[in-house]
Amino acid sequence: MGFFDTLFGRQKPTPMGPEKLFAISTAEVALEAEQNLTPTNTAAICFKGMASGPFTQMQAELEQLLQLSSHDDQLTVKPYNDEFDYRWFIFSGANFQALVTALHIASQTLVDKGYQSTLLFAIFPFTSAQGHEMYWMYNYKRGMFYPFVPQTDAHDRTHTRNNPEEMRLATAMKQELPIDPEYERWFPVWNLPF
């Protein structure tokens, strides 16, 4: 922080990182026991791509690292580029803690290589006792979670959300997860690649 920033009381925003991502590991027990939500054995990270040689090289090295580290935890990793040129790593495996760790490795690698600004979100799909899908989203820029509950499913063309259920889940889980208090920042993600 510079002299004038100190003098005028300005602060540079503190960049958020992937550390709070691990909160979902401990919250998973409460999600299953209290909310009857079961993990779907899938999780994903989404980030913005960059048209540069170093970024492309880093992405290839990250993919190779994830393939190697995921092998030990019996996870599969699938890279995916969507129609908006966002990059995804989609992880599958029966061990929820290993999924969270794999997402943390991916996001921490991007941070360590100087690409923190490309991180968008991590997503953890769950299924309710009635068979409905819902998602816990982790916003890297804010370092907080929020629920996303599509009215039917994430591929529904009407793109309607179950806002009362989202509010209920956020209230129920606020002791377990850092919940984003600004509802207008609870961005939905439609047409998920899994």
pLDDT at 21: 92
Taking 80 as the threshold, does the pLDDT of residue 106 lie above it? yes
Please give the mean pLDDT across all residues of the chain.
85
**pLDDT tens sequence across 77-90:** 888 988 888 999 89
Residue 1 near residue 9 (C-beta atoms within 8 A): no
pLDDT at 133: 93
pLDDT at 134: 96
Q: Give which of 183, 172, 100 is closest to 144, Cα–Cα.
A: 183
**pLDDT tens sequence across 27-83:** 999 999 999 999 999 999 999 877 666 767 777 777 777 776 666 668 888 889 888
Taking 50 as the threshold, does the pLDDT of residue 177 lie above it? yes
pLDDT at 132: 92
**pLDDT tens sequence across 8-30:** 454 444 445 677 999 999 999 99
Give pTM, 2 decimals: 0.85
pLDDT at 156: 74
Length of the chain: 194
pLDDT at 49: 74
Give, rounded to a whole angstrom, the gap between the first and last alpha carbons of the chain.
43
**Structural Rg of the chain based on CA atoms:** 17
pLDDT at 166: 97
- The dihedral over CA atoms of 137, 142, 144, 145, expressed in degrees to the nearest 10, equals -20
Q: Which helix (H) or strand (E) holds 133?
A: strand 133-139
pLDDT at 9: 52
Q: How far apart are CA 114 and CA 117, in angstroms?
A: 8
**pLDDT tens sequence across 114-165:** 888 889 999 999 999 999 999 999 999 999 999 999 987 777 778 899 999 9
Using pLDDT thresholds of 50, 70 and 90, give the confidence band for residue 105. Answer: confident
pLDDT at 73: 67
Q: How far apart are CA 48 and CA 45, in angstroms?
A: 10
pLDDT at 14: 43
Residue 103 near residue 21 (C-beta atoms within 8 A): yes
